[in-house]
Structure 1
Amino acid sequence: MRVSNDTLRSAFLAALDDARRRVVETQHQVSTGLRINSPSDDPVAAARVAHLDASLARLDQYQSNADFARNQLGLEEEALSETIGNLQRIRELTLQANNSTASDGDRHIIAGEIAQHRNALLAIANTTDVDGRHLFAGYRESATPFTIATGGNVVYNGDQGQRTLQISDSRFVAVNDSGAEVFQRIPEGNGTFVLEANVANTGTGTLGSSGLMDPASWVADTYTITFLTPTSYEVRNGASALIVAGTFTPSQSVTFAGIELRIDGTPAAGDTFTARPSVQQDVFSTVDRLIAAIDSPVGSSASRALLHSSVGQRLADLDSALAHLIDARGEIGARVRALDQQEALNADFAVHLNTTLSAVRDLDYAEALSRLSQELFGLDAAQQAFARAQNLSLFRYL
């Protein structure tokens, strides 16, 4: 078969173009440090690189979410810590006010200081983050969660929402708590029942310690303890049915319906005390009732006994609020620990993904430079061969 000069020239030029292309591709790989610079370099590997890049991008977003969650939870934890500190100070002041040597003036001063702490609690409940979002408003973070109504009571303007952020493919963490959950849903007393002394009592009987001794026997109802004489009493339920009757001596415990309570001092005939089921109330109402009890004037032994009973029960409400807020603070700590654990897992996974990505996409410089040297040598040889082939013509010898 006859091979023309044009055919040889075309073949040489095609070979030269191919050699130049390989050199350019290798030089580009060396300059970028990447084996795959476009999907055409290795379609299968390119698809895997895209998947790995997407996974790393998700991890970056999860880290951003975790950083934001940690900041928000830190603000909430600080707010709850300040709230607990204020309530503990209120408790100290209450114990001072409940001392028998405290005068009406002393208690009035103490009540004024407690009122200042109550105002501080309201300010803390309306805490905002650096962007002006209220921490305890639920989803309605632009609204002031707690405001004072016309009658002086505190009302909640937020909702029950709780925002969450995703910190892994399958894990979410809450970054806030509604004000209703933190500051309002607090059980009175011991969480089961509440004791009250009748304001019309004329004796010196004072409510002491109490507790639920037999939960199985407790029937939620309002029970009235009536002293028929200073040494005898009867207990009736909300339907006025007699539950128990007995004799009484000062500091004796009265037991009925699974509960036990102690009454100190000497009640007068006709004095009554009640035990009713506990309900939920907000921390502001707890403090308001405490202030009202402390600031009540004492003009007789009966009114002093009433003061001690009332303040004692408000102390139980205060202890319930403290326990509730301590639990809420502990819940935040649990979320922060979850963030720590997930961040560690995400970091380990990111290392694995980056190692895999490097193995798939990154260039082996030793192999690439060796290949580039060979390709340059081949290109140079091809160029020399083409130059010599150009001289293979009989016309040069005519």
Structure 2
Amino acid sequence: MRISTSQFYNQNIQTMDNQQSQLGTYYQQLSSGTALTTPADNPLAAAQAVQLTMTSATLTQYQSNQNSALSSLQLEDKTLSSVTNTMTTIVSELTRAGDGTLNDTDRASIAQALQGYRSQLLNLANTSDGAGNYLFSGFQATTAPFTNAVGGGVNYQGDNGIREAQVTDTRQVATNDSGSSVFLTVPAVGTSPVAASAASNTGTGLIGAPSITNPAIATNADNYTITFGGTPAAPTYTVTDNTAVPPTTTAATAFNANTPIALGSGMQVAIKGAPAPGDTFSVTPATTPQNSSVFATLDAIISALQQPANNNPTATATQSNALTTAVSRFQNSLTNVTVVQASVGGREQELQALQTTTRTNSTQTQSNLADLTGVDMVTAITKFEQTQSALQAAQQTFVKMQGMSLFQYIGG
């Protein structure tokens, strides 16, 4: 078969072009460390690489969300620890205020201390993060949640919104708790009913904390009023269940300070001293609004401790009852804060576990992507050198063959 000069040139040039192109590909792989420079290099691997890249980006975003959520919860946890410490100190002050040896000056001093602790609680309730977002404002993150209300208590400026972070494909974690759920409400479970006396009482009756005799009785959660009648020498009382429809009232019963008063069939309360006819006492669920605001409770007891009571049995009884009520309310609020903090701690632990899992998955994804797209440097260098040597040989051969001609031999 005859090979024309043009064929000879075309074949050699095509060979060198192919080798030059292959050499460029190897060089690019070596310089970039990536085996897949274009999808055409390996379409199947390229498709898998796209999927792995998307997965890696998603995991990176989840890691960012987890870190942000954990930071928010850690700040809330720290704040709630301070709230718990302050409230525990307040309970101690309330217990000290019940010491019968104290005088008006002593109680006024305690009231002043409680006012300082109240300010601490309000500052903690208005805690914000470094970006100016308030922890307990719900969705109203840029609005301070609490302001003092005229006449006592606070106004809540936030809402009940719960901010959530997407931390996995199928899991969202709450990163905050609303101020109303922390400072203005208490749970029905784990708390105790609250006993109180009417401010208008004129006797010296002292009501104690209610006791549950049968937890299974539904009427334990009802609202009761105890009304005294009869005469100072022969007092009687009636018990009204205000929750029943219509309200029910027991028959008048002779009062005996040594006999607890039954409230329905599952609860009772003791009243000591000498209640006067017309005096009333109440026992209400812990969840009742007047029982569940930390700040309203504090304001009420501060006001009670500032009232003179020396040598005044009625005023002394009123103060003692106010202390009993305040301690019950505060213990319930403290229970609520503890429950919320436990929930925050549970979410922190979950996020920390998710962080470990996400880091592991991200590392594995990156490893798979590197295996798929990365260059085997030893193999790539070997192929580069082989192709380079072959190209050099082809170039030298082409140069020599260019000089070959029949006319050289004729002329020789």
1:254 aligned partner = 261
Letter in 1 for 2:225: Y
The reply on whether 1:291 has 2:292 as its aligned counterpart is no
| Pairs within 5 Å for 1:298-377 | 298=309, 299-377=311-389
Distance 2:248 2:142 in 1: 53
**Residue 19 of structure 1, CA deviation:** 0.9
Match of 1:224 among 222, 226, 247: 226
| Pairs within 5 Å for 1:93-172 | 93-172=93-172
CA deviation profile, 1:13-51 (whole Å, cap 9, x unmatched) = 000110111122112212222211222322221221122
- Sequence identity percentage: 30
| Pairs within 5 Å for 1:376-387 | 376-387=388-399
CA deviation profile, 1:58-86 (whole Å, cap 9, x unmatched) = 21221122221122112211211111111
CA contact (8 A) 2:153 2:293 kept: no
TM-score normalized by structure 2?
A: 0.89
Distance 1:350 1:240 in 2: 64
The reply on whether 1:273 has 2:281 as its aligned counterpart is yes
SS in 2 for 1:285: helix
Letter in 1 for 2:327: L
Distance 1:260 1:54 in 2: 65
CA deviation profile, 1:111-170 (whole Å, cap 9, x unmatched) = 011011111111111111111111111111111211124445411111221111112222
CA deviation profile, 1:217-250 (whole Å, cap 9, x unmatched) = 5162433242535564332344674425544433
After alignment, is 326-335 or 57-66 more displaced? 57-66
SS in 2 for 1:363: coil
Letter in 2 for 1:252: T
Q: Relative to 1, partners in 2 of residues 1:12 and 1:139: Cα closer, same or farther, differing over 3 Å?
A: same
The CA RMSD over aligned residues, in Å, is 2.3
- Structure 1: gaps (5+ residues): none
Match of 2:237 among 215, 233, 239: 233
SS in 2 for 1:209: coil
CA deviation profile, 1:78-115 (whole Å, cap 9, x unmatched) = 21111111111111111111111111111111101101
- Equivalenced residue count is 398
**Residue 52 of structure 1, CA deviation:** 1.1
SS in 2 for 1:186: coil
Letter in 2 for 1:216: I
- Structure 2: gaps (5+ residues): none
TM-score normalized by structure 1?
A: 0.92
The reply on whether 1:51 has 2:55 as its aligned counterpart is no
| Pairs within 5 Å for 1:63-102 | 63-102=63-102
SS in 1 for 2:210: strand
CA contact (8 A) 2:227 2:278 kept: no
Letter in 1 for 2:102: A
SS in 2 for 1:99: coil
The reply on whether 1:37 has 2:3 as its aligned counterpart is no
CA contact (8 A) 1:221 1:277 kept: yes
**Residue 196 of structure 1, CA deviation:** 2.0
SS in 1 for 2:270: strand
